[in-house]
Structure 1
Amino acid sequence: MSPAPGQGRGKGRGRGRPTRQRAARGPSVVGRRFEVEVGPVAHGGHCVARVPVGDPSSVEPVETRVVFVRHALPGERVVVELTEGTEGDRFWRGDAIEVLESSPDRVEAPCIYAGPGACGGCDFQHVDLAAQGRLKAHVVAEQLRRLAGLDVEVTVEPVPGDDHGLHWRTRQRYVALPDGGRGMRRHRSHDVIPVETCLLAAPAGPSYVVHGRVFEVADGGFWQVHPGAPAALVDAVMEALAPQPGESALDLYAGVGLFSRFLADAVGPSGRVAAVEGDRAASALSERNVPGITARAGDVGQVLAGGLPAEWDHADLVVLDPPRAGAKRAVVEAVVARSPRAVAYVACDPAALARDVAIFAEHGYRLASLRAFDLFPMTHHVECVALLETGRATTLHNP
């Protein structure tokens, strides 16, 4: 379900943010209905369809307009009702309000608040859980192909800790209603839907213990909301990097030091770890969670440009765990300037990942492995761990 403002937004990973109002480009098309055949899934929790515009009786070819359709599945035939757009827009948005021919992957949504016009957070409650993984895998692969020029097979791995895709969100905030109740927002809207119970909410709050290591986290500070996420990501990063005693490791967007702690254990007393984090409270906690590290609070790009001792002009290993917008060019180029033998990139947005992978490729770093994890069942979100190395062709491992 869509979070209230600020819900789950640690390190820039906000979801359900209401849309900005754009200048109208002609009369509104909201409310128009079309019967369409649904095309492929797209990044953002919707599928692509095309609808005719203009006069269908004209001798000229009928122009079509792209519609991003929620609550549909590829191959279905549905009635779509437009929910956003004007006649001059390049694309419109809509909801599948009636299914004429359904996909075998369609199931009944377990939540009474899911569906057209209702709570906007769960993009895929109408989709079989295994099929959700296939849809997300398609999106990751398509973004890498389109933005990085890579042909990659992707498998999205389930993570222990949820109940058939439900009851995994260990932090949850609602919108307070005037009558004392609570609610969630509609998709791309400030409108609030009253909600009694969110089926994504976990029965207990987050555990800050990972593989026997205890982490201190500030109230409201960032921590993965799926209970199985921290261990799964640590395992994937450590397997990808294979840190050795005596190596130097740079942990960027380090939070409270989750990856730093296990990197420090692996490189040992003869190695060194530096953790850079924009949030000062989290950075201070990383020093407490990982004694002996070099911790710096501040904008990652600025710290890399001049906020670290000279010994960090080189690093053997780098972990990148940026916010949803990605690391971007300045940070990527500051990383490759340190000539690491391996970079583990933890990505919550496949488009940002693909753009940054393309920048790494400009500097001789190639995608050596990729794993994807279903840390956000029932939503379109997916987490990836990519390994980037120099001097290797792309040979990808999917468990």
Structure 2
Amino acid sequence: MRHRPPRGVRMRRAANRAEPGEEEVLELTLGEPAHGGACVAREESGRVVFVRHGLPGERVRARVTSTRNTLAWAEVAEVLDPSPDRVPSVWPEAGPGGVGGGELAHVRPSAQRRWKETVLRGQLRRVGGEALLDAVTALGGVRVDPTPGDGDEADPLLGRRTRIELVVTPDGRAGMHRYRTREVVGVEEMPLAVPAIQELGLFGSDSPWGGVWRAGDRVRAVAPNGGKAVLVAPSGAWALREGRPTRVEDEPLTWTVRRPGGAPDAQETFSVRARGFWQSHVRGAETLAEAVMRASQVAEGDRVMELYSGAGLFTRFLAQAAGPAGRVASLEGDEGAVADATANLEGWPQAETFVGTVDAAGVLELAGELGAGGASEGRGSEAAADVVVLDPPRAGAGREVCRALCSLGAPRVVLVSCDPAAGARDLRALVEGGYALESFEAWDLFPHTHHVEFVAGLTRG
């Protein structure tokens, strides 16, 4: 594939190409952001360079970290002409030469959202096709909104993550991998984590957790909204009790979510294993549940099929909307998640959970569980389901799953995606299979990273 530089990008070489073993430093004027958290530039020779820790329009000196054919990857070593959207990094340890997980920590929050809009718009066009981008444009265009509560420009968006993944360093400290390496380095602070995680005292050389786990152990810190933080490691579950690391029971954690469309105090509780999946942003589950219910428009008596259903967050609200006369069938490949979902759906007999591989055969088998005919009044559909909701992992659902969904002919499909490229690919497959885009919403659920989440509603066209 040939790479063309974004219009207006200028670049000149600051030094000759380095010999093997020597450091190569380039002077660049950076172009638009690319999917993955870097800005794009191009050498006069035609080599494309993806530069992390910069901003569009900045002139920088960048140190090349790796190369492949006509591509190179680099990190900003010096900012010569800064962007007005550059701010002091809220997490310097994730800066050049540091750990992953905070590649936009130097970017003003509103500019982070504009960055993600540019990337999402580009992926919709390049991967999804011009027709798909035109459809989104007709709906108002690509707009990445702040998560509710994150819209204040003066807010540095710290303390939002309820879950972080750590690796134990050779000297027993809580650490993370240096970006794109296997090297584990100790972390001194984690400002992106919610206060309950920060209060565990995990970070720094004087941490009480030093030596509790073995080098290389993977440790997850989780803090359910409104609850105390726990840690899960190969040796079991841990918590800080009276300032000392203490083993605790590895019990499910309780999360609260505002009921979509309900009053602020209309809360639902969900039980999820500490090792299980839940949205990382403290208000992420609420935001996506609201969006899914808006896009799905589930009515009393509807039959709903849900794929990649996790711990049952959407499943419960879909079951509530479908009511006793409706039916919801969900499919998930992780047995632990299905166990969580089964517990979270107690009292909702119209919802059934199934564990199995989410592939074309699984889609058709789940449709068989719902049965053909008998669509809700007013829908006029003979499809097995009135609504299909899918929330695939970062790699996306894939063409075969999308083709299987299209063959079912459900009047409405809702796609949740956490990856612009995979999401655009899935949307294209659904549109080519006979669906028309009806709604498109996106949010910045992962401040200070390049990640973005969107929810798209489609109808049979």
TM-score by shorter chain over 0.5 = yes
> Counterparts in 2 of 1:306-345, with a 5 A limit?
306=365, 309-313=368-372, 314-345=384-415
Partner of 1:248: 303
Partner of 1:210: 257
Partner of 1:99: 79
Partner of 2:261: none
Secondary structure at 1:73's aligned position in 2? Answer: coil
- The reply to whether residue 111 of structure 1 matches residue 91 of structure 2 is yes
Amino acid across the alignment from 1:364: G
- The reply to whether residue 387 of structure 1 matches residue 457 of structure 2 is yes
- How many residues align? The count is 354
Partner of 1:10: none
Secondary structure at 1:340's aligned position in 2? Answer: coil
Q: Are the counterparts in 2 of residues 30 and 83 from structure 1 also a CA contact under 8 Å?
A: no
Q: Are the counterparts in 1 of residues 29 and 60 from structure 2 also a CA contact under 8 Å?
A: yes
Partner of 2:148: 160
Partner of 1:350: 420
Distance 1:238 1:29, change over 3 A: farther
Distance 1:41 1:192 in 2: 28
Distance 2:452 2:21 in 1: 32
Distance 2:395 2:371 in 1: 25
The one-character-per-residue Cα deviations of 1:142-179 (angstroms, maximum 9, x if unpaired) are: 10011112333211111136663211111123221233
Deviation at 1:288, TM superposition (A): 2.0
Partner of 2:67: 85
Partner of 1:7: none
Secondary structure at 1:337's aligned position in 2? Answer: helix
- The reply to whether residue 297 of structure 1 matches residue 315 of structure 2 is no
Distance 1:30 1:357 in 2: 45
Distance 1:199 1:347, change over 3 A: same
Q: Are the counterparts in 1 of residues 309 and 331 from structure 2 also a CA contact under 8 Å?
A: yes
The one-character-per-residue Cα deviations of 1:95-125 (angstroms, maximum 9, x if unpaired) are: 1111111111111102231321112221111
Partner of 1:186: 178
- The reply to whether residue 68 of structure 1 matches residue 50 of structure 2 is yes
Amino acid across the alignment from 2:362: V
- The reply to whether residue 369 of structure 1 matches residue 439 of structure 2 is yes
Using the TM superposition, name which of 142-151 and 162-171 deviates more: 162-171
Q: Are the counterparts in 2 of residues 30 and 81 from structure 1 also a CA contact under 8 Å?
A: no
- The reply to whether residue 43 of structure 1 matches residue 43 of structure 2 is no
Q: Are the counterparts in 2 of residues 29 and 84 from structure 1 also a CA contact under 8 Å?
A: no
Distance 1:30 1:300 in 2: 48
Q: Are the counterparts in 2 of residues 206 and 225 from structure 1 also a CA contact under 8 Å?
A: no
Distance 1:41 1:64 in 2: 18
Partner of 1:21: none
Distance 1:74 1:30 in 2: 28
Secondary structure at 2:410's aligned position in 1? Answer: coil
Distance 1:194 1:250 in 2: 44
Distance 1:69 1:257, change over 3 A: same
Distance 1:121 1:306 in 2: 38
Deviation at 1:312, TM superposition (A): 3.9
Distance 1:363 1:182 in 2: 48
Amino acid across the alignment from 1:69: V
Q: Are the counterparts in 1 of residues 367 and 385 from structure 2 also a CA contact under 8 Å?
A: no
Deviation at 1:29, TM superposition (A): 7.9
Secondary structure at 1:174's aligned position in 2? Answer: strand
Secondary structure at 1:173's aligned position in 2? Answer: strand
Distance 1:376 1:28, change over 3 A: farther
Distance 1:69 1:226, change over 3 A: same
Distance 1:227 1:311 in 2: 34
Distance 1:343 1:126 in 2: 37
Using the TM superposition, name which of 316-325 and 110-119 deviates more: 110-119
Distance 2:441 2:67 in 1: 36
Partner of 1:126: 106
Distance 1:263 1:358 in 2: 25
Partner of 2:122: 142
Secondary structure at 1:295's aligned position in 2? Answer: strand
Q: Are the counterparts in 1 of residues 168 and 184 from structure 2 also a CA contact under 8 Å?
A: no
Deviation at 1:183, TM superposition (A): 1.6
Amino acid across the alignment from 1:196: E
Distance 1:347 1:30 in 2: 41
Deviation at 1:307, TM superposition (A): 5.1
The one-character-per-residue Cα deviations of 1:123-145 (angstroms, maximum 9, x if unpaired) are: 11111000000000111111001
Distance 1:69 1:327, change over 3 A: same
Partner of 2:206: none
Deviation at 1:186, TM superposition (A): 1.5
Deviation at 1:287, TM superposition (A): 2.0
Deviation at 1:81, TM superposition (A): 0.9
Distance 1:340 1:93 in 2: 44
Distance 1:29 1:335 in 2: 52
Distance 1:351 1:335 in 2: 20
Distance 1:28 1:228, change over 3 A: farther
Deviation at 1:30, TM superposition (A): 6.8
Amino acid across the alignment from 2:123: Q
Distance 1:161 1:217 in 2: 24
Deviation at 1:388, TM superposition (A): 1.4
Partner of 2:10: none
Q: Are the counterparts in 2 of residues 38 and 48 from structure 1 also a CA contact under 8 Å?
A: yes
Distance 1:27 1:299, change over 3 A: farther
Amino acid across the alignment from 1:158: P
Amino acid across the alignment from 2:424: A
